Chains A and B, each alone.
Chain A
Amino acid sequence: MSELGELDRPGAPNSPGAWDERSEEWLVTETAADQGPDADATTDHAPGPDPSARGKSGKTGNARSTTPTPRRATADPVKALMHRHRDLCERAVDPLEIAAGLEAHGVTDRTAARFRHRDVFSLAEEMHARIPRDGATPKPRASEADPRPRVDWVLLTLLPGALCTATVVGLHLTHGQARPTVAAAGALAVALALRAALARGPLSPRSGTLATGTSAWTYWLIAYALLGDGLLRTALVGGPDGLPDGTPDAPWPLATAPFLALTWACASAAWTTHLLTARARRKLTASRGLEDFAASVRPLLLGTFALFLCALTALLTLTATTLDEPITYAQTTTLGALLLLSRLLAIHRFTHAPAVILTATATAQAAALATVFAARLPGCEVLALPVQTLTDTWGPGSVQALTCGTGALILLLHATRTLTRASAHTPAEKR
């Protein structure tokens, strides 16, 4: 008794005074170990598990003289039981869960009677009521590791750009008859590569199949980027007099630089989407409420979108200067933005809006071309007036820039509303 620690140590009571909590804890944690002679005083009151159990088996024969020494029982058998099932008690959200868990461990109503309870349910209720609630909030679960970028989709997203580059190089190297063959083969290869790139990785739809029915309109938009401006320009001056021959200097020029930039931008789109998904998932685990989440995801969405536009602009500058073509920033960035946003929305299960916007954009472009040709009919000259005015003011590329820009803007507004919802980022359903 010289040390302070020993003085402080609680012991079994010598008088019928109240137990304090610390002494109870001490008793329970050292149940199995020797507690000193004092503790034996308490065993008399406890309904020991073995004597009553043996009483039941009395009909099988009289008790032997070599009965095993009963395990030391505490004053509070329920506390010992709680200690044995402490995982269950800490986990349980209601008494029934404890009851189910106890029963799975073989506790029956007969066992519960030893704890002076009518049945397992009332025993579980006592245990649930006695779980210490220290008010400490459970620590947030460690967020599962972000999905690592995988080699397969990284390579696949680079494939369209590579194939397109090869096609352009081929077009530059070949002449005459071989050119249409190279162009057709290249177009087919690029289309297949695009399909493959969109079927895997972050740009792939999350829940099984994705039936948007927008691929035809997407192809139209890309084809317009490739050929539309040239067609419009020649149409306004009375052409076209022949099919495009694949050279930028021809009367109906082929705008390969934007197309090349867009195919390479597949990779950057995949990366930015991957970034957005991973960050959004992290925000999901970190945020406390839905408003919180929306507020934190909105800048993330806009940031990744801007990042993609920067990458696309850089790519466009690179390809245009390499191919020595005019740089068409407005048309290409708006088209890229439109395509990225529609894909982003579609993979988060919002398929309706992208379908409508893509259809409307493509229809507007087709209508612009159609009015120019229709104006050649006698008496319909006035039809070409809007497009004529537009091209006179801002050049022939303005039709594409205007249509795609409007579409992209609407989709961006829609995305800031829908993609900031937590339900859009629900993990895919496991089967």
Chain B
Amino acid sequence: MRIGLLTEGGYPYVSGDARLWCDRLVRGLEQHEFDIYALSSSERQEDEGWVPLPPQVSRVRTAPLWTAEEDEVGYGRRARRRFAECYGELAAALCEGSVAEAAGEPSATEADRFASALYGLAELARDEGGLVGALRSEAAVRALERACRAPGALRTAREARVPDLLTVAAHLERALRPLSLDWYEDDDLGSVDLCHVTSGGAAALPGLLARHFCGVPLLVTEYGVRLRTHYLTATESSPSVRALLAAFHGRLAAEAYGRAAIVTSGNAHARRWQERCGADRDKLRTVYPGMEASRFADVGESPECADPHTLVWIGRVEPAKDLVSLLHAFTEIRKEEPKTRLRIVGAPSGSEGTAYLGHCKALAAQLFPDEADGPHAVGDNPVSFEEIGGPELPTLADAYAAGAVTVLSSVVEGFPISLVEAMFCGRATVSTDVGAVVEVIGGTGLVVPPRNPRALAEACVALLRDTERRERLGAAARARALELFTVEQNITAFHGIYLDIVSRTPVRRVLLDATGEPLPFATPAEAHVPGRWTEQGLRVVARGGPGWAAGPPVRATAPAAATEGAS
């Protein structure tokens, strides 16, 4: 199969998001061909270059999102009117409010309005070019103003002033840059069997257009919901700007979810957001992120090496991790089990994290006096703050190995990676009920409410006292992690999804003969056999066309010659 991998600010750039996951996916599925279509998010990212690519990547096309050349195409009257119509429709759809505003489910007409305007603009860009200039023009701002002042527009949109309109127009121009790309021809995105969009947002646009122009099925994978990120980051502008942009991103997400054959998410939380934004429940699949299990294998298989009186906390130090609560819990634990020690392992993230770490150190020094074994020994504090890479803890696995119980005390958490690592190491865990913790841990660890030091302490004491229970939970956790959170599981899941999509919604390509007539039976039945069915040597020929079928020279001439010979 030939898979078009669409990324935004990610793989194959060295500094990209989620490049590790994409890299593992591409390397893991070497039986497929990958065409990578990458949108870069900054000039610096482009300058830093790519990661080394495996041989199954047959093509990489990139385009910048951070800049756009304004080509000197002046529109004629008809093109101008076409643009004004499409853009006006788009603006009107935005002024009706976001997806959530429309009583939970967007009405079909509004969704259509947005989609038809979007595809109208894309068709205009394909036919005439010069969309960048048009999106920057006064006509765009005027259309936006008209939509905002129209009756029935959103209250916040009606209050938009001229600078707000300009900001929205500029943002829309940036967001719609993928429409001007030349990726949607038959030998580019038209030739792939499946578009895999690795994040929502801008990367979904090329996928949507490939589906619109060439009928390529779409798979959307989101490990973090882009719409949610947009809400959390865009807090600076005025309300009208935020309302219009939220409406745009919401509708774009809804359109991507609506058109996609399958939408995958990394955890139940992301799935709920997708469902909320209009994704059909039948399309949703949860594919847990995969992690390298081998480096924890030694630790995981020897649970007896742990110090039975040590608690370990591992992660990046920041206020959301609520170490203060952990320290308070530790005072309670010490009352019950005076020999217990707590090792806090992790580096601070950012200046806020550094300040927080200092605060925690001061608190630990206040709460727990230094202790020594006897009157002649030098004492130390029962709470130690350490970092990975020191002589005592050279690797991450050693850090997990050091303690009998791993504690997670966060108040806010997304997908708790340190918890999964602890599970790989076969350690019993006590965690707070935040984010995807319950989903990850299942029944293989103790879960307490956040901001409840006493409950945390009780759970830790229970585990510290009961060695057998600790081992049982650790083994169960390791088994669960190996079942759900390995790289292999992730890759196999995507492989299955690829096959599923291609078998259910294959691209129907109508091949034409020399006179432009449709050619029946030009695509043989074997073309739909998954995997590479041609010989390795034929790949060179096949590269220009679809990966599963014969290349363009064969497609264009050989069948035509055959029919001519027959007639």
Chain A residues with CB under 8 Å of chain B are: 53-54, 56-57, 59-61, 64, 91, 93-97, 100-101, 103-106, 108, 110, 119, 121, 125, 137-138, 140-141, 284-285, 287-290, 292-293, 349, 352, 421-427, 429, 431
Q: Is the CB of A53 within 8 A of B449?
A: yes
- Select which of B42, B101, B136, B449 is within 8 A of A56 by beta carbon: B449
Q: Is the CB of B272 within 8 A of A289?
A: no
Q: Which residues on B sit within 8 Å (CB–CB) of A423? A: 136-138, 140-141, 166, 169
How far, in whole Å, are A78 and B454 apart by their CA atoms in the complex?
26
Collect the chain A residues with CB atoms within 8 Å of residue B452's CB.
53-54, 57
Q: How far is the CA of A203 from the CA of B374 in the complex (A)?
A: 79
A57 touches B246 (CB 8 A): no
Which chain B residue lies CB-closest to A283? B162
A290 to B164, CA, bound (A): 11
Stretch in contact with the other chain, from B113-121, B183-191, B228-236, B417-425: B228-236
In the assembled complex, B161 has its CB within 8 A of some CB on chain A = yes
Q: Which 8 A-B pairs have the closest CB atoms?
A: A57-B455, A100-B231, A93-B243, A60-B459, A53-B449, A61-B458, A421-B138, A106-B411
Is B156's CB within 8 Å of the partner chain A? yes
State the majority secondary structure of interface residues on B: helix
Interface residues of B (CB under 8 A from A): 42-43, 66-67, 70, 72, 97-101, 136-138, 140-142, 145, 149, 156, 159, 161-163, 165-166, 169-170, 227-228, 231-232, 235, 238-239, 242-243, 246, 250, 269, 272, 276, 320, 411-412, 433-435, 446-450, 452, 454-455, 458-459, 461-462
A354 to B293, CA, bound (A): 65
CA distance A100 to B229 in the complex (A): 8
Q: Tell whether, in the assembled complex, residue A288 and residue B243 are in contact, meaning their CB atoms are under 8 Å apart.
A: no
- B433 / chain A contacts, CB cutoff of 8 Å: 56, 108, 110
Residue in chain A with minimal CB distance to B276: A121
Q: Find out whether the CB atom of B231 lies under 8 angstroms from the CB atom of A101.
A: yes
Contact check: which of B72, B162, B246 meets A97 at CB < 8 Å? B246
On whether the beta carbons of B454 and A64 are closer than 8 Å, the reply is yes
Looking at the assembled complex, report how far the CB atom of A122 sits from the nearest CB atom of chain B, in whole angstroms: 9
- Rounded to whole Å, the gap between the CB of B278 and the closest CB of chain A is 12
**Residues A288 and B454 in contact in the complex (CB < 8 Å), given A60-B448, A91-B239, A100-B231:** no
Complex: A425 Cα to B449 Cα, angstroms:
53
Distance between A125 CB and nearest chain B CB, rounded to angstroms? 8
The answer to whether A96 and B227 touch (CB under 8 A), given A91-B239, A289-B145, is: yes
In the assembled complex, the Cα of A57 lies from the Cα of B433 at a distance in Å of 10
Knowing A93-B156, A100-B231 touch, does A287 contact B458 (C-beta < 8 A)? no
**Is A429 touching B170 in the complex (CB atoms < 8 A)?**
yes
A56 contact set on B, CB distance < 8 A: 433, 447-449
With A54-B455, A60-B458 as contacts: A288 and B170 at CB distance below 8 Å: no
A137 in contact with B159 (CB, 8 Å): yes
Question: How many angstroms from the CA of A358 to the CA of B449 in the assembled complex?
Answer: 74
Query: Cα distance A398–B60 when bound, in Å?
Result: 62
- 24 A-B pairs in the complex with CB atoms less than 8 angstroms apart: A53-B455, A54-B449, A54-B452, A57-B449, A57-B459, A61-B458, A61-B462, A93-B98, A93-B246, A94-B101, A97-B231, A97-B246, A100-B231, A125-B100, A138-B239, A140-B161, A284-B162, A285-B161, A285-B162, A288-B162, A289-B145, A422-B141, A422-B166, A431-B43
Establish whether residues B238 and A289, one from each chain, have CB atoms under 8 Å apart when the complex forms: no
- What is the bound-complex CA distance between A119 and B455, given in angstroms? 24
Bound CA span A141–B241, Å? 13
Task: State how many angstroms separate the Cβ of B450 from the closest Cβ of chain A.
Answer: 6
* A61, A64, A96, A292 pick with most chain B CB within 10 angstroms: A96
- A59: nearest residue on chain B (CB-CB)? B446
